[in-house]
Every structure is written in C-alpha cells, then in structure tokens.
C-alpha cells in the first residue's frame, strides 16, 4: 500500500470524468488499498480515484462504520427529501460550505472481487457517497454553492 498525493485546487484532473473499470484485477485492488491508506492518512472520510490522479470509477468511504469500497458506483435511486449540511473536501483544503443533497440514496456498485452489490445509504454515508461520486463526474461540492456561500476557513470569513 502507498500513500498517494491528493490533487488539489484547480488541478484539471479534478474536473475530468472517470472511466468505468472494465475488470476488477490486482491493479484495481492495489488502487483500493492505496485510496484507503491515503484517505486515512489525510484524516478524510472519502476519496475518489481521480483525487489522486487516476481516472477510474473507484471510491473508498469510511464514515466511522468501517471501510466501504465502491467500484463502478452508480446512484440508482435518490430520496425526494433533501438535507443541507456542511461539506469540505481533501482536494479543496480550507474551504467548506452547506450543500443540499438527498437524504437517502441507493447505490449499485462492485466490490473488490468484482461482485455487484447494492448499498442503501442515509445520513452522513449518503452525503459522503454523493460527494465522492460527484468527483467521478468532475463535480466539486463548491459547484452547488454561490461564491458568497463558500467559507474559507483560513480566513474565517465568507467569500
């Protein structure tokens, strides 16, 4: 396992769409391991492969209930109820903002063995999963906010 460099700021890879994984193989397993190690090292709760410069549809999440690995994840259902809560991002250090998202989502994905499964997520897990899956499509949490809604923590003020 290796700790990878997390791409930040205006790095163009963060705005690119990740490609589906054709076959879950040892390279994908190593990527999952590296993503998890990098996420834990950075004290994050989620990390998408393009955040470390790999344009593959691979995500890891741990909101305190154990590691969840998602290969080729896709949201197949969203609840109509929306919740607004604070988000931050390892790729946008020092920024946060209150982002509206569906309270619950259903995600179809593959595990590290290539087996399909369904994940029912609500609360923080749903929020984190949506945030990370957005990364796979080149979308950042700040895209949901007006400039004045983005809080720059280093300055302690809104911009």
132 is catalytic: yes
Q: How far is CA 124 from CA 45, 106, 110, 131, in A?
A: 10, 14, 21, 10
13 touches 5 (CB < 8 A): no
- Which listed residue (77, 81, 87, 132) is catalytic? 132
How far apart (Å, rounded) are the C-alpha atoms in residues 159 and 157?
7
* Angstrom distance (rounded) from CA 101 to CA 140: 13
Q: Which residues are catalytic?
A: 132
């Amino acid at each position: 396992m290796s700790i990878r460099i997390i791409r930040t700021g205006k790095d163009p890879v963060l705005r690119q769409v990740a490609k589906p994984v054709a076959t879950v193989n040892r390279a994908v397993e190593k990527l999952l391991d590296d993503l998890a190690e990098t996420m834990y090292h950075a004290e994050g709760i989620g990390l998408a492969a393009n955040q470390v410069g790999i344009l593959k549809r691979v995500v890891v999440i741990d909101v305190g209930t154990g590691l969840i690995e998602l290969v080729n994840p896709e949201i197949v259902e969203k609840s109509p109820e929306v919740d607004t809560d604070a988000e931050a991002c390892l790729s946008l250090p020092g920024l946060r903002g209150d982002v509206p998202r569906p309270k619950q989502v259903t995600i179809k994905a593959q595990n590290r063995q290539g087996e399909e499964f369904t994940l029912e997520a609500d609360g923080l897990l749903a929020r984190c999963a949506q945030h990370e899956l957005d990364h796979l499509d080149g979308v950042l949490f700040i895209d949901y906010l007006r400039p004045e809604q983005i809080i720059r923590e280093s300055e302690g003020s809104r911009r």
